Structure 1
Amino acid sequence: MLRVARCYSLARTKVAHNYSTIFRPEYALKCGLEIHTQLSTRNKLFSQSTNSSTPLVDVPNRHTSFYDIALPGTQPVLNLEAILFAMKLSLALNSQVNSVSQFDRKHYFYGDQPQGYQVTQHYRPFARGGKINLSKELDGIDESSKDISIVQLQIEQDTGKSHYTDADKDVITLVDLNRSNVPLIELVTNPDFNDIKQVRAFIKKYQNLVRHLHISSGDLETGAMRVDVNLSINGFARVELKNLPNTSSIINAIKYEYQRQVELISRGETSSLMEPETRGWTGSSTVKLRSKETTIDYRYMPDPELPYINLAPDVMSRVKESMPQLPDDMMRMLMKKPYQLSLKDAKILTYNSNQNDMYNHKVLRSYYLETFQEFFKLVGEQGSAKLPTNWIIHEFLGDLNKLHVPLIKAQEILPPIVFAEFLKLLHAETISPTSGKLLLFHILETFQRSNCRDRSIPDFPKLIREFELHAIDQVDSQELVSLCSDIIAQHTDDTFIRNLTSGKKRTSLKFLIGQGMRRSQGRIKASEFEKKFKEILDIQW
């Protein structure tokens, strides 16, 4: 047993080592992506069935129509909302939308594809070209800027889903057609990726874009977005990687497959790399599924039951006018004056990790921008841009997450104009930052205890008096000397004092000030403590 365990441990170590392999220039990686994105339309692509947003917990086969399950004689009726969503994405990617596109049948036979074919766009896709720009500034890639070009975007229907169960050692396949005929956009990139960072950045950026446009949840874990990877090494045949459920699987599969092919090439065993193939990801390695199908295998043909999509000349311009500002433009705006946000904070306002978060980027950004404007109306040019940034993005959101209060609810009692009044109290040093944190948390906690039903606007002056949170303007000099001396006696020694007074460790003064603020519960200003500590310790710097 011990020997087996040790062998298994060594095998795991080897895989981990392979994953950390750095891509080598003598083994050039070429990589492209195929991304299938479920559209969040109300109905399915060619029927009036509900497009369920919770496929993982829903009752199997509930959201189906006669067309979805391919009963003979049923005919498709195109959902125009899917066309609108496809146009939004195409315009955001600077793709060339075709004024005329068509649907085709792609024939293959699986249990979860009851028609025996999938309706897609092969001959005349919805859009061609376009790009997503990746940059070192915003996306953390090694290059200063890199464009990932897009081959095309096509609209197609999703398949059903097969579930495999063991019943008395016989494998039973159950088919759920809730997903059948859900509208998809398939995006195909050129093989422009040559680095893992680029792949990761692209997926994250594309995922955020479809959420930003409100056309998809973009969740990999639920299958709302599914990514297939095409890669080759040194010009050998393309290998397609499937069954990649999340970003880490995508990255690890690429690393593993790269190393696998590098080892074959270095040993001169390249015969298996001459023909295209499809491989699956098991979680630790890639395995061959089948030889790659060709266009002939699918027997594409124009769908005789669906007419061409003919777009009126003014449709594109009208959709373009309704488009929101795109995330990259928004981030660059927020990183400049007057906001001057860090990249991390700008991403918090523009990147939405999940549609079901306690807050989403659109609501949060709107709240931040409106509060920022109201704050500077109150305090003028003397205000600091860091104040609304720190208190909204960090303190306020932190409290909401701790208390599980949605932002959409919290802004009922703390609308932007009221939060701006709160920031004015901090700006004027009417209350200290420590007191401000206590006050803000108390307001939100009281609101939470009422089950978010008490929508009374907080009376800041009353609360400050009630809890004695106001800053002390006239500090008793003897009491302050006594407090500072007590802190010095408790928290310092001769070495600490020498390093501080000589200027060798100036940050030690901040430690003493912090202790003073804690002992005074933030009511005595930090500047008063700094002045008194320097006076007592005869600090000259």
Structure 2
Amino acid sequence: MDKVIIGLEIHAQLNTKTKMFCKCKVDFSSPPNSNICPTCLGLPGALPSLNEKVILYALMIAKALNCEINRKSLFHRKNYFYPDLPKGYQISQYDIPLAKEGFLKLPYSEKVVRIIRVHIEEDAGKLVHPEDIMEANYSYVDYNRAGVPLVEIVTYPDMNSPDEAVKYLEELREILIYLGVSTGNMEEGALRCDANVSIEGHNRCEVKNMNSFRSIKRALEYEINRHFELISRGEKIIQETRHFNESDGKTYSMRGKEEAEDYRYFPDPDLPPIIISEELINEAKSNIKELPNDIREKLKNFSLSENEIETLVSMNELRNFFFEVLKTFPEPRVVANFLLTDVLGTLNEKNLSKPPFSPADFGKAVSMFFSKEISSKILKRIIELLFECKNLDYIINNENILPITSKDEIRKIVLEVLKENMKVKEDYKKGKERALTFLIGQAMAKGKGRLNPEILKEVLLEELNR
């Protein structure tokens, strides 16, 4: 089979308070066309003024992706006509981007995806279609997004399957979120992906409108199969831009594939060159704390599964909670077992990002289970009560939840059970071992699961053998 070749172009909205070249706020939830001004609408006489935070955030991304920084880069005008582009051009970068020649290693793999360039540009507006784009008779235009700062990250065609492309994008999204420079929210359009797909030796096609990891995988699978079918019939693959339709999982031709000369790039006369100082590079480096791979390496020391590691990597607040618990109770395998099942399940049910109780209380409760002071059933009940905003001391002192270890208390319950189950008692004396299991279960039920099982069995045998 001929080799599949995939390259990605990622657009990430930067998490700034205001737009790239004006003071209009960036707010996804604002009413349409409420965050606009003469500058982002491109009205005559309005001049752009660069938001310096954009440069800092872009440098952080470039350093996290192991890129070379261009100490001097330029803004260019990318000229094209489309309803969502109010100026008739987009302020972008062309032959001298902010950064170039980086790479990103995929987790749990030897695969390295090389990065051609990282550059900054302004976003276009947003077209809102009243129905499916392929059938809509008209569209609305919302210019709130016009002028929002973007970083575009362009890869070499180093990926050879839809799965690799998705893994690359997942890892890149994690990095952007870790850096705090983008929300990475694909549903809101804060992270968008275009893919260039080809079969080795044949023309490539660009695929757009993929707004989730699932849709990226579906679109690439469909497009790859389409290419192979055309090749098998001896037909030529037309180089073009195609639109992915989420409803039927197919791609449709939008337009012929543009080349750089189609956009008539030229330096923006209203903006000076970007000069990157050593101080700014150092500031960008100092803002990068830990990246996802750093966390993975740390978590690998705790004998956690790949799924457990990835859950903690992707949930910052839960991961911080996990490390705080280990300061109280340094048994990561046991902590993770309850944190990533019982606690995480309740967090998801209640739509919370972190537990409402202290790491110290949770660590102490898990340590009580570890030292066999309480059963797993009791620990799970304690976790439920902790979610009700009760601290551990209150639960222990007021909820009658700790195991009963007093022989006298247990004997009292055992005698009640035997009195209520005389026939089962006789069955045991006739040698029916299952009778013992039944009586233990009855005693546990009467004691609401709080009886120490070893002491219970000892006392029960004493009474049965009298």
Aligned to 2:39, the other structure's residue is in SS state: coil
* Residue 198 of structure 1 pairs with residue 164 of structure 2: yes
The CA distance in 2 between the partners of 1:514 and 1:124, in whole Å, is 75
Which residue of 1 is the match for residue 6 of structure 2?
A: 31
**Partner Cα separation in structure 1 for residue 126 and residue 158 of structure 2:** 32
Note closer, same or farther for the CA distance 1:526–1:212 as it changes in structure 2 (3 Å cut). Answer: farther
Asked if 1:524 corresponds to 2:457, the answer is: no
Shift of 1:421: 3.2
For residues 374 and 157 of structure 1, do their structure 2 counterparts lie closer, same or farther at Cα, with a shift above 3 Å needed?
same
Deviation at 1:532, TM superposition (A): 9.4
Change (3 A) 1:276 1:531: farther
CA 1:520–1:179: 2 relative to 1, 3 Å:
same
Q: CA deviation at 1:399?
A: 3.0
* Aligned pair partner of 1:187 in 144, 153, 178: 153
Structure 1 position 77 matched with structure 2 position 10: no
- Aligned-residue offset at 1:348: 1.8
Pair 1:86-2:86 in alignment: no
Q: Could you tell me which residue of structure 1 aligns to residue 328 of structure 2?
A: 374
Please tell me whether residue 426 in structure 1 is matched to residue 369 in structure 2: yes
CA offsets per residue over residues 300-328 of structure 1, 9 Å max, x none? 00111111111112321232123121111
1:315 aligns with 2:280: yes
Select 1:327's aligned residue among 292, 297, 302. 292
SS at match of 1:367: helix
- Aligned partner of residue 387 in structure 2, secondary structure: helix
Q: Is the 8 A contact 2:13 2:182 kept in 1?
A: yes
Pick closer, same or farther for the CA change 1:526–1:123 going to 2, 3 Å.
farther
Does residue 155 (structure 1) correspond to residue 88 (structure 2)? The answer is no
Q: Greater shift after overlay, 126-135 or 433-442?
A: 433-442
The structural deviation recorded for 1:518 is: 5.9
Matched residue, 2:307 = 344
Instruction: Report the residue type matching 1:94 in the other structure.
Output: N
Distance 1:160 1:427 in 2: 57
The alignment's TM-score, normalised by the length of structure 1, stands at: 0.75
CA contact (8 A) 1:435 1:521 kept: no
Q: CA deviation at 1:428?
A: 3.9
Report the CA distance between 1:189 and its aligned residue: 0.6
Tell me the equivalent position of 1:278.
241
**One-letter identity of the residue aligned with 1:458:** N
Aligned partner letter, 1:467: E
Shift of 1:441: 1.5
Q: 2:77 is paired with a residue of what secondary structure?
A: strand
Q: 2:77 aligns with which of 85, 89, 105?
A: 105
| Structure 2 contact 126–143 (Cα < 8 Å) conserved | yes
Shift of 1:512: 11
User: Residues 429 and 471 of structure 1 are in contact (CA less than 8 Å); yes or no, is this contact kept in structure 2?
Assistant: no
% identical aligned pairs:
32
**Residue pair 2:60, 2:287 contacting (<8 A) in 1 also:** no
Aligned residue pairs: how many?
A: 446
Uncovered stretches (5+) of structure 2, i.e. residues with no partner: 425-431
8 Å contact kept, 1:41–1:81: yes
From 362, 385, 395, the counterpart of 2:316 = 362
SS in 2 for 1:145: coil
The one-character-per-residue Cα deviations of 1:416-458 (angstroms, maximum 9, x if unpaired) are 333333334334444332222223322422x3xxxxxxxxx73
Tell me the TM-score normalised to structure 2 length. 0.86
Cα deviation digits, residues 388-430 of structure 1 (max 9, x gap)? 223333323333333455537x1xxx32333333334334444
Asked if the contact 1:400/1:444 (under 8 Å) is kept, the reply is no
Q: CA 1:282 to 1:514, structure 2 compared with 1: closer, same or farther past 3 Å?
A: farther
Alpha-carbon distance between aligned partners in 1 of 2:289 and 2:129, rounded to the nearest angstrom: 43
Please give the alpha-carbon distance, in whole angstroms, between the structure 2 residues aligned to 1:512 and 1:244. 61
- Secondary structure of the residue aligned to 1:279 is strand
Partner Cα separation in structure 2 for residue 42 and residue 512 of structure 1: 67
The question of whether the paired residues in 1 share the 8 Å contact of 2:62 and 2:118 is answered with: yes
Relative to structure 1, the CA distance from residue 531 to residue 39 in structure 2 (aligned partners, 3 Å threshold; closer, same or farther) is: farther
State how far apart, in whole Å, the 2-side matches of 1:229 and 1:74 are.
35
| Equivalent in the alignment of 1:175 | 141
Change (3 A) 1:371 1:70: same
| d(CA) in 2 for partners of 1:347, 1:512 | 44
Provide the rounded CA distance (Å) in 2 between the counterparts of 1:533 and 1:199: 62
Specify the alignment match of 1:241 in structure 2.
207
SS at match of 1:68: helix
Q: Is the 8 A contact 1:229 1:240 kept in 2?
A: yes
Contact 2:122 2:149 in 1 (8 A): yes
Residue deviations 1:267-300, cap 9 Å, x none? Answer: 2122xx2x52111112332221111112211100
**Superposition deviation, residue 370 in structure 1:** 1.5
Q: Give the drift of 1:173.
A: 3.6
For structure 1, the 5+ residue unaligned runs are 1-25, 138-143, 352-360, 377-383, 448-456, 490-496, 501-508, 536-541
Corresponding position of 1:253? 219
Residues 514 and 294 of structure 1: CA distance in aligned 2, closer, same or farther (over 3 Å): farther
Question: In structure 2, what is the equivalent of residue 11 of structure 1?
Answer: none
Counterpart for residue 437 of structure 1: 380
**Alignment partner for residue 209 of structure 1, among 171, 175, 184?**
175
State the secondary structure of the residue aligned to 1:243.
strand
> Please, which of 341, 349, 353 is the counterpart of residue 394 of structure 1?
341
Matches of 2:226 and 2:57 in 1, distance apart? 39
Distance in 1 of aligned mates of 2:443 and 2:161: 51
Which amino acid counterpart does residue 332 of structure 1 have in structure 2?
E
Q: Distance in 2 between matches of 1:417 and 1:459?
A: 9
For residues 166-189 of structure 1, the C-alpha deviation after alignment (integer angstroms, 9 at most, x for no partner) is 9xx994443210000000011111
After superposition, the C-alpha distances for 1:508-530 in whole angstroms (9 at most, x for unaligned) are x9x99999866643323455578
Task: Provide Cα deviations, 1:8-44, integer angstroms capped at 9, x if missing partner.
Answer: xxxxxxxxxxxxxxxxxx2321111111111111110
How far apart are the structure 1 equivalents of 2:167 and 2:440? 42
Q: Secondary structure at the match of 2:270?
A: coil
- Aligned partner letter, 1:198: E
